[in-house]
Amino acid sequence: MIEAFLSKIESRAAVVGILGLGYVGLPLYNRFAEVGFRVLGFDVDPAKVEKLNVGRSYIGHIPDSQVAASRAFGCEATSDFSRISEVDAIIICVPTPLGVYKEPDLSYVVGTIEACVPHMRPGQLISLESTTYPGTTDEELLTRVKTQGFKAGEDTFVIFSPEREDPGNPNFRTQTIPKVCGGVTANCLKAGVALYQTIIDQVVPVSSTRAAEMTKLLENIHRAVNIGLVNELKIVADRMGIDIHEVIDAAATKPFGFTPYYPGPGLGGHCIPIDPFYLTWKAREYGVHTRFIELAGEINSAMPEWVIHKIAEALNLRRKAIHGSRILILGIAYKKDVDDMRESPAAEILERLLERGAEVAYSDPHIPRFPPMRNYHFDMHSQPLTPESLAGYDCCVLVTNHSAFDYALIEAHAPLIVDTRGVYREPAEHIVKA
């Protein structure tokens, strides 16, 4: 069956199924269509399905024109998982969040696999792209595929190929980001590489699905640990009266042995705040305590509270308390220039301010209304920034440094600015760095 599968890929006769049409799945949907594959997208959200089928995007940095082009080529979206039988490749791109106690929550992955398996047929490839701990592909995906009598490498091809999307980054796109791929067998790997080579400039094969799963975790743990380090140094520098951003910029002039990482109000997004805990949880099964990784997680998780402390301190110097103050959050997305709220530290900061009695509002050009989240529910919409509106707040907290903000306007009219991103480099009496 491997030769038949490879022939379908080479001739573009294969139909590609994308399961989960979010920040990872939708770019894949468009990219496969761009190179000549018919794509069938699956999502449980009927609003997403409806928009895609009329050629409209629901993600800010993905234009309607891309979705419309995919639709015109014959691609479509559905919520009917019985149509899994129509596709030759099944690519799973669903969330892998954390539970209440920071344990892995694989409910989306498991639910999706179980929705697929009854409708699978011989000759299909199934790829998991969702970030997870080493062993998930074998333990959760392969085990369920075997219940249908399929043998990996013969009747079906099972792989893990972690997503590497960076929403809003203009320097990289799906095609240009190298793709790691690991297979359960040699034939599985061959099929996976053949599929992804049609849309990605460089595919990086590794020896197993576990190696591929660990690769993704290493990439993001590397970032989480280094951000934790610089967040801790930020607090030390603050106590010493030193500008940490000046120090980082100076250190970054060293042409070797140093990579700059910048502090912030806490980690956000679908990977960096979550992935370290997937590994620490799995490591316990092997009797390993990942102290270094967990310490970085503790430091990063404490950053929203540090921001609250700096707000309270700044207001106190002006004979005000958080209770009763009018506070404006500038930017609630987890990173600049995107409309993505996943794990955004802004939500926790906002909640903590409300708990302390503040009157809180937000302004974000990318998020007109506060979206529904798993742990936060606020009935709010983005406020316009004018000289009059800015002057009416006791404190403006810069949480996400969107390019669209008029920073000169904010500096000129906000009575107090707490800057968590190092946007304002020149000292000023009404600017406090956090």
Catalytic residues: 271
What amino acid is encoded at 72 in this protein?
Answer: A
Please choose, from the candidates 81, 159, 85, the residue with its C-alpha nearest in 3D space to the C-alpha of residue 121: 85
Asked if residues 73 and 60 have their Cβ atoms less than 8 Å apart, the reply is: no
Q: What is the DSSP string of 84-145?
A: GGG-SEEEE-----B-TTS-B--HHHHHHHHHHGGG--TT-EEEE-S---TTHIIIIIIHHH
Q: What is the DSSP string of 34-71?
A: HTT-EEEEE-S-HHHHHHHHTT---STTS-HHHHHHHH
Asked if residues 387 and 407 have their Cβ atoms less than 8 Å apart, the reply is: no
Q: How long is the chain?
A: 434
Which residue in the block uniquely carries the two structure tokens 């304002």?
A: 424
Asked if residues 55 and 72 have their Cβ atoms less than 8 Å apart, the reply is: yes
| Cβ neighbours of 241 (radius 10 Å) | 6
DSSP H or E stretch at residue 362: strand 359-363
Q: Is 400 helix (H, G, I), strand (E, B) or coil?
A: coil
At residue 206, φ and ψ (nearest 5 deg) are: -125, 170
Which residue in the block uniquely carries the two structure tokens 């490879």?
A: 6
